[in-house]
Amino acid sequence: MLVRQIFDPALAQYAYLIGCPRSGEAIVIDPERDIDRYYAVAERHKLRIVAAADTHIHADYLSGLREFAERGVRVYASDEGGPEWRYEWLLDSAYDYRLLKHDDHFKVGNIEFVAVHTPGHTPEHLVYEVIDHGSGATEPVGVVTGDFVFVGDLGRPDLLENAAGHAGSMIPAAQQLYRSLARFRKLPEFTQVWPAHGAGSACGKSLGDVPSSTVGYELRFNPALRSATSETDFISYILSGQPEPPLYFARMKRDNKVGPKVIGAVPGLPHLASRELNALAGRSDVVVVDTRPRGDFIKGHLPKSLLAEWEFQFVNITGSYIEEGTPIYLIIEPSRVDEATRLLLRIGLDKLVGYFTPADFAAYAANGGPVATLEAISMAEMEERRVAGGVRVLDVRGKVDFDTAQVTGAQNIAHTRLLARLGELPNDAPVLVHCASGARAVHASALLARHGYTPSTVADSFTRWQPAVSV
């Protein structure tokens, strides 16, 4: 048996190519949308992809399951969780597919896969126990756990309520997750754990930066599993301290259920002439995404453009800051265009028009094109202005950090939820935007400026904030 873990660092996502060298057949589990990458891995190992499967309806990226189905590959998906959680695009389709119930089996070559219903993260969630009959095994060598069990964590049960708007689902989901652990605990301790995400994913709160584990190790050292001494204790632990989900999660959940648009192949983006920037300056019906370092953006950028630094939360920012269906232009280094295109496609931002280079923007500015700037201030200056009055302080950290310590009178909206909550932020005064380090604040300030606010970004560490001493 061959197992290859295919990692997307931007989404902290793991897909799996599992192959049977004897038959030459392979399956891909939890693929992303640009499936050419998996075919390349299969080709290197002289394998044919004959099947693809999802563990659940994903919320953090668009699945590649439909892309595989379009190529005639047999696809497997959950038939658990009730009618509301079925893959609508598969039902009554002409695709080669099979919907799986709890304890259903299927084979790829000499490898047997057992679908196990593990609701909690989502109602339809499955994991796949993997038995290598080619080696004579009768017990699972590993289990593809999806968003059920991570290294050091469990899949969060609050997303349906906090990201997709299913009110009242959080506690019942946590109860389901607790009950789903029973079968996992019965697996042999040597069974390898192959999760769908690692550190950096918003699908949990404390995922380890280790690509795989074992059942025995997780039972001993996973804090979430160790908290499950009672259902009450488990629910309290698993629901506390979860980070705010990026805004695009709800859209991914919807699109994966009804069916992502088929792309077929990753498009090549055209390089546009710098003079075309003139027609884009100050427009709200399109968006120019500037990937340059934040210091350069502060000093000068295209009016109403967004900042999504290449080295800082590119996916979370673009997914949370760009409204669905908006035509997208990039300011980006040519060497990064293909990867940026893939990342945007993975989160359903398909309306890509073309790109400019940083040199193109410099030429545009040098020729007199309109340029906007951001005011950058220190924590000390922010405090002076706050005390003087006539401003609003916006903290774009997560609620957990805000509840730990906050600037007096500050309003808290996590930067990945800001677009949806602009109505809560009055536009009657300058807004002073801060975070923990200054990074999120700059990106959020660009979003506010695009929507007509007058922001100043606090390019400083929150640790330097000192409340003014009243005299």
Q: Tell how strand 306-307 and strand 411-412 pair up.
A: unpaired
The tokens describing 134, both together, are: 């080619």
Q: Are residues 133 and 282 in the same domain?
A: no
- Check whether residue 254 and residue 352 sit in a common domain: no
Q: Is residue 264 part of a domain?
A: no
pLDDT average, residue stretch 1-19? 97
Do 379 and 361 lie in a common domain?
no
Number of CB atoms found within 10 A of residue 113's CB: 23
How many domains does the structure of the chain reveal?
Answer: 3
Measure the CA–CA gap between 145 and 197, rounded to whole angstroms. 10
Strands 352-356, 25-29: pairing kind: unpaired
Q: What is the mean pLDDT of residues 65-71?
A: 98
Say how far apart CA 303 and CA 284 lie, in whole Å. Answer: 10
Of 314, 347, 366, at which residue does a domain stop?
366
Gap between the Cα atoms of 58 and 64, Å rounded: 11
Task: Assess whether 328 and 394 both reside in one domain.
Answer: no
Q: Strand 153-154 vs strand 455-458: parallel, antiparallel, or unpaired?
A: unpaired
Residue 267 belongs to some domain of the structure: no
pLDDT, tens only, 204-219: 888 989 999 999 999 9
Same domain as 187, residue 243: yes
- Residue 350 sits in a domain whose CATH number is 3.40.250.10
Q: pLDDT digit string (tens) for 17-42?
A: 999 999 999 999 999 999 999 999 99
pLDDT at site 471: 41
How far lies 467's CA from each of 89, 98, 386, 409, 438, in Å? 55, 61, 10, 11, 18
Confidence of residue 221 (pLDDT cuts 50, 70, 90): very high
pLDDT value of residue 167: 86
Sign of CA dihedral 154, 125, 348, 452: negative
Q: What pLDDT does 49 receive?
A: 98
Neighbour tally for 440: CB within 10 Å:
25
pLDDT tens digit sequence for 368-384: 999 999 999 999 999 99
Please say whether the dihedral angle defined by the alpha carbons of residues 131, 136, 139 and 142, taken in this order, is positive or negative.
Answer: negative
Residue 268 lies in a domain: no
Range of the structural domain that residue 341 is part of: 274-366
306-362 pLDDT per residue, tens: 999 998 999 999 999 999 999 999 999 999 999 999 999 999 999 999 999 999 999
Model confidence at 470, pLDDT cuts 50, 70, 90, reads: low
- Which residue matches tokens 């896969």? 113
Confidence of residue 468 (pLDDT cuts 50, 70, 90): confident
Is there a single domain that holds both residue 133 and residue 238? yes
Judge whether 85 and 100 are in contact, CB under 8 Å: no
Q: Is residue 432 part of a domain?
A: yes
The reply to whether 191 and 129 lie within a common domain is yes
What single letter denotes the amino acid at residue 402?
A: F
Sign of CA dihedral 166, 171, 175, 181: positive
pLDDT tens track for 396-436: 999 999 999 999 999 999 999 999 999 999 999 999 999 99
Q: Is residue 471 part of a domain?
A: no
Residues 112 and 231 occupy one common structural domain: yes
* Separation of alpha carbons 50 and 42, rounded Å: 11
